[in-house]
C-alpha cells in the first residue's frame, strides 16, 4: 500500500528593533496571529505545522541546536489531519543563534524532517526532507 502524507511547515520570525534589540514594544509587528510568538524571549522564531495527511502524523523527535523551546514538544504526540500546531524556539540573548530539527512520521514509516535556523545577521531558514518507506525494494 502506498502511503501519501503531506506536512507543511512555515517558519515565522519576530523582527528586532534597530535601536534597542533588548527592549521590544508590546505592539511589535508579528507576521501571524498566534498565542505567544515573542513571549519572554528577546528573539524568537516559530515553526507552524499544518497536517494535510488523511491519517495522524506522529512527532518522533524534536531537538534544538540553539535557544530554548517556549513549550517543549512532546515526542510521540499525535497531530491529527487538519490540525495546526506552532512550536516556538527563542532566546534571551538577541545575538545568539536559534535552530533545531523536528521529525514526523506516519504508521507505515514514511518521515518528514524539518530543520530550521536563524543566525544573527541572516534571514531565518527552514528546510524539509522526506524519507519514504518502501517495503518492496
Four-point Cα dihedral 55, 109, 72, 113, nearest 10 = -100
d(CA 50, CA 89): 17
Q: Is the dihedral of CA 105, 83, 10, 42 positive or negative?
A: negative
pTM confidence score: 0.69
The x, y and z cell numbers of residue 98, run together, are 536559534
The x, y and z cell numbers of residue 131, run together, are 524519507
Tens-digit pLDDT profile for the chain (137 aa)? 333 444 555 555 554 433 333 333 443 333 333 334 445 899 999 999 898 888 899 999 999 999 999 999 999 999 999 999 999 999 999 999 999 999 999 877 889 999 999 999 999 999 988 888 766 66
Q: Which domains does the chain have, with CATH numbers?
A: 7-131 (2.60.270.50)
Q: Is the dihedral of CA 103, 65, 117, 10 positive or negative?
A: positive
Amino acid at each position: 500500500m502506498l502511503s501519501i502524507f503531506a506536512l507543511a511547515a512555515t517558519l515565522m520570525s519576530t523582527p528586532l528593533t534597530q535601536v534597542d534589540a533588548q527592549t521590544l514594544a508590546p505592539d511589535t509587528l508579528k507576521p501571524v496571529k498566534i498565542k505567544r510568538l515573542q513571549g519572554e524571549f528577546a528573539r524568537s522564531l516559530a515553526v507552524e505545522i499544518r497536517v494535510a495527511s488523511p491519517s495522524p502524523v506522529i512527532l518522533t523527535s524534536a531537538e534544538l541546536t540553539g535557544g530554548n523551546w517556549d513549550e517543549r514538544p512532546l515526542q510521540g504526540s499525535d497531530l491529527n489531519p487538519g490540525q495546526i500546531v506552532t512550536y516556538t524556539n527563542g532566546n534571551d540573548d538577541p545575538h545568539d543563534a536559534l535552530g533545531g530539527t523536528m521529525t514526523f512520521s506516519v504508521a507505515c514509516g514514511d518521515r518528514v524532517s524539518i530543520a530550521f535556523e536563524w543566525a544573527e545577521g541572516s534571514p531565518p531558514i527552514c528546510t524539509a526532507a522526506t524519507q519514504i518507506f518502501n517495503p518492496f525494494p
